[in-house]
Amino acid sequence: MTAGVEPGGEVVLIGLGNPLRRDEGLGLSALRRLTERVPLPASVRVVEGATLGLSLLDHVEGVERLLVLDAVVTGGAPGRLVRLEGEAVPARLRRPASAHDLALPDVLALARLLGGGPRELVVLGLEPASVEAGTGLSEPVAAGLDRLVEAAAAQLRHWGVAGCTS
């Protein structure tokens, strides 16, 4: 057991997105930057979820804490930091930005039906500027990437993940 994380308190960190649709690849970019900068202990399971959809069930079922990094459409200014927690996640993601956004609420609902949804759920992301076909993050989203990574590191620290400094 890692100090700071309670027994059975596994933390799963998932980056979602499609890097072939500009800002839609944000979750994967943020996950990579976070794992390069922050020493994560073995108690944190890191998953490049990309656009796995219902295949994510194996990664969310029965976990204590789930942190998801993704582009999140709220209608705000491009690059704005977005934080969703608990029940606000499925309700807010009902209007999908892409195919995998629709799947996350479905995966969470299925995990709950099976009796094993995450006890704590946080989605952190940035408002996208462009989800058109192409590669690379837009300027406002690229400018907010470090802010998103710091927010993710802060959430992990809040959950007591040892050694999680940035």
What's the pLDDT score for residue 2? 35
Report pLDDT digits (tens) over 64-123: 999 999 999 889 999 999 999 987 776 555 444 444 444 676 777 788 888 787 889 999
Range picked from 59-63, 69-73, 91-95, 139-143 for highest mean pLDDT = 139-143
Alpha helices by DSSP H, listed for 48-159, are 57-60, 88-92, 99-113, 139-158
89 vs 149, residue with greater confidence: 149
What's the pLDDT score for residue 107? 77
Q: What is the mean pLDDT of residues 42-64?
A: 84
Neighbour count for residue 20 (Cβ, 10 Å):
11
Q: What is the mean pLDDT of the chain?
A: 84
Of all residues in the chain, the percent with pLDDT exceeding 70 is 83
Identify the CA nearest to 66 among candidates 6, 114, 111, 118.
118
Going along the chain from its start, the domains and CATH numbers come out as 11-158 (3.40.50.1450)
Question: To 10 degrees, what angle do helices 139-158 and 26-37 make?
Answer: 50
pTM of the model: 0.85
